[in-house]
Structure 1
Amino acid sequence: MSDLSHSSPAAPAARFRSPTDEAPLARWLLIAFVTVALAVLVFAPLIAVFVEALSKGWEAAWKSLISREALPAIKLTLTVAAIAVPLNAAFGIAAAWFITKFDFRGKAFLITLIDLPFSVSPVVAGLCIVLLFGANTAIGSWLVGNGFPIVFALPGIVLATVFVTFPFVARELIPVMIEQGRAEEEAALTLGASGWRTFLTVTLPNIRWALLYGVLLSNARAMGEFGAVAVVSGRRESATTMPLKIEMFYNEYQAAAAFSMAGLLAFLALLTLLLKTWLENRHAGELSANRRGH
């Protein structure tokens, strides 16, 4: 009989390294790379814009923003956003409801069409609007003759802005509504609730934060859109939004006015981002509870 006391000890179990358990050097190199990239590509340009905008003081920056050249562009930008964002919200809700609550052929193709503005150049989108509603076309000439011009006017700018921003709300709502399913709506309909009441009391409370996130993103993009608006507006003074006016000021060597308006536009974008982040942190628990419940 062999002596168990002299048997060779068992080999130690092999240590398995987690895929995310990187060496300290690798972690620090990745952190340093991301930090430097953010500093060079994001923070440095933003800081430069605000420094240049305030280089002559707050009073000079304020006067340049309320001048006769700048104030109409600011008003037009806010007007376009005030029209385009609610339209996008309505479209996003309708598209998400239709896609998530009904089964039909071509659903995947419809979702792809919703993403189309993400892949089409805004300049191409603006050119399509000009080719469709320009004064040289049948539709455009009829509209101009009846006093409703589209191109080089507010309606064309709104159309261009709606086109480039309409996926934001829908893409926020579709995953949330797919995850929630149809059980609650079907139960409400079974109990006798109308479709509109079901939407207001069941669907809307469940999607309100996703809807708000999509609206905020759409609003930020609407205020900062340049390419499509530049084509549709024809860069006319009466159809100039803030991004276009910034370029005009800069090309006319009005650096203080250009950077002041750029600073205002950047501030509005940062404010939108901060509001979105605050809402996410403020209602993170409620969102998690809703998702666990479904």
Structure 2
Amino acid sequence: MRKLLIPLTYLVFLVLLIVPLIKIAFGAWEDGVDGLIHAITRPEAVHALMMTGLIVIVVTLLNTLFGVMLSIYLVRGTWLGSRLKQLLNSIVDLPFSVSPVIGGLMIVLILGPSTTIGAFFESIGFKIVYAFPGMVLATLFVTFPLMVREVMPVLQEIGTQQEEAASTLGAYGWTTFWKVTWPLIRWGVIYGVVLTIARSLGEFGAVLVVSGNVMNKTQTATTLVYQDVENFNVVSANGVALILVAFSVALLLVMEWSKKRKGVH
């Protein structure tokens, strides 16, 4: 069985991942260097890539802050009851079980311009849906579990002995976190950041629903690729997709290299 399953695994990996990446790379260069440069420097592509970058930055910062905070509460929060912890754990896993399109639709139904909350925010000049804030919320909804599910197992594994020792010696809460907890969970947080960035770059369904996909306004790189494919502009679509793939792969490779250099397992 081993001799059968190992080659089968490599075959599936090759067909589902490597071949499409090679196809995208060759498709981006189909019109030569000039075609690739034009695909990624046209005004709509520049705007979409900048919009994607802004979303990635904001979502990563929010995801890191609240993800680490919630992880500590769920593992260390003795004041939280077991039922409440189970409920919060279920809510964290909700994006894994709900389609991103449904997540985007929920944001529209709650914060859309036709709702009470959305109309109130628009009346004070703060538009959420079909604007940048809604796109951030949609991406945050999809990526939020990634940080929590990376940090929680690390907190559970290291236990509380070192933190309790620091507290016994008179360290305050923030001092204990930065001097004891943070060095132990640092690589879990970093890996959660890498996964968040990679997932944010590739998010499509939820962002498409809440953004409206308006060119040069609320269009991201993934929705631009979708529009190019719909317009049979496949070379340009491959060019933008290649940029996203290259950045994600480079980020993961740098992460793995750093872990090996630091001897992290």
- TM tier, smaller: over 0.9
SS in 1 for 2:242: helix
Q: 1:215-252, CA deviations, whole angstroms, 9 ceiling, x for partnerless residues?
A: 10011001110010010001222101011000111111
Aligned position for 2:176: 198
Identity of aligned residues (%): 40
User: Does structure 1 residue 57 correspond to structure 2 residue 32?
Assistant: yes
Greater shift in the superposed pair: 204-213 or 60-69: 60-69
Structure 2 portions without partners, runs of 5+: none
Among residues 72, 82, 99, which one is paired with 1:105 in the alignment? 82
Structure 2 Cα separation of the partners of residues 192 and 258 of structure 1: 58
Alpha-carbon offset, residue 59 of structure 1:
3.0
1:85 aligned to 31, 51, 60, which one? 60
Give per-residue Cα distances to partners, 1:53-96, cap 9 Å, x unaligned.
Answer: 01122232022201112100000000000000110011111011
The within-5 A match list for 1:65-144 is: 65-103=40-78, 104-106=81-83, 107-144=85-122
CA distance in 2, matches of 1:192, 1:203: 15
Distance 2:11 2:159 in 1: 42
1:22 aligns with none
Residue 276 of structure 1, CA deviation = 2.7
Structure 1 position 45 matched with structure 2 position 20 = yes
SS at match of 2:42: coil
Note if 1:254 corresponds to 2:233.
yes
Cα distance in structure 2, aligned partners of 1:68 and 1:131: 32
Q: Which runs of 5+ in 1 are unaligned?
A: 1-25, 289-294
TM-score (norm 1): 0.86
Out of 187, 190, 210, the position equivalent to 1:232 is: 210
Q: Which runs of 4+ in 1 moved over 6 A?
A: none
SS at match of 2:192: helix
Please state if 1:150 is matched with 2:125: no
Alignment length, in residue pairs?
A: 261
TM-score (normalizing by structure 2): 0.95
1:266 maps to 2:241:
no
Q: Distance in 1 between matches of 2:5 and 2:117?
A: 56
Deviations 1:139-196 (A, max 9, x none): 1111111110000000000000001001111100000001111111111122221111
AA in 2 matched with 1:161: T
Which amino acid in 1 is paired with 2:100? P
Query: What's the CA shift for 1:126?
Result: 0.3
Q: Match of 2:220?
A: 241
Amino acid at match of 2:71: A
- CA–CA distance in 2 between the matches of 1:187 and 1:159? 39
